Chains A and B, each alone.
Chain A
């Protein structure tokens, strides 16, 4: 079945450091890929997405590129802020139909210190 594997956390960085959170997936067909963020005490929010190979999703300074050859969708940000502290989830919806199932990675906790 489909699966998403994220790098294990927690990840602790200083403000203005470079961030990479690795995400790889296993899926048949052509999944859409997502990054979701959960800030402390809040629900999940869509951060960015990419629907086909080589697409780059971007939002709030975060970027991720859909790499089909390496089945990866790594999340990056050039300079993190304390306000970026949150749990980040990589996810996929498989197939081009309406019946794709949403599959999450286990989540990566990011803590940014001043």
Chain B
């Protein structure tokens, strides 16, 4: 079956600490992968988009980076978190008109 796993579900990190959020996909190959952020009270903002291994498109300049070391793995990272990085991060994949979402990660930077 086609699923997507995203972890952790919640995370509290101090300012200046590193970040690594992981997303893995099952049941498909060569999906398009996405990282979105949803700040409190706001809509979804596309952060990164990948059409293949090692291919990352950054939609907005920011303190974050993304990597796709394997076809079905997408990682969101930061070397030093800022308070403004707090939010709800959502991983998604699409292929041929289908779209699936992870459960999201609630990140609080303190």
| Nearest CB of A to B45, in Å | 9
Known contacts A98-B96, A101-B49; A89 and B44 CB within 8 A of each other: yes
Interface size class of B (residues with CB under 8 A): 20 to 34
Interface size class of A (residues with CB under 8 A): 20 to 34
Name B6's closest neighbour in chain A (CB-CB).
A43
Is A101's CB under 8 angstroms from B32's CB? yes
User: In the docked arrangement, what's the CA distance between A105 and B32, Å?
Assistant: 19
Is B97's CB under 8 angstroms from A100's CB? yes
User: In the docked arrangement, what's the CA distance between A97 and B94, Å?
Assistant: 11
User: In the docked arrangement, what's the CA distance between A51 and B97, Å?
Assistant: 8
Q: What residues of A have a CB within 8 angstroms of the CB of B101 in the complex?
A: 36, 43-45
Q: What residues of A have a CB within 8 angstroms of the CB of B103 in the complex?
A: 42-43
B41, B43, B94: the one contacting A93 at CB < 8 Å is: B94
Q: What residues of B have a CB within 8 angstroms of the CB of A32 in the complex?
A: 97
Is B51's CB under 8 angstroms from A93's CB? no
Q: What residues of B have a CB within 8 angstroms of the CB of A36 in the complex?
A: 101
User: In the docked arrangement, what's the CA distance between A107 and B37, Å?
Assistant: 13
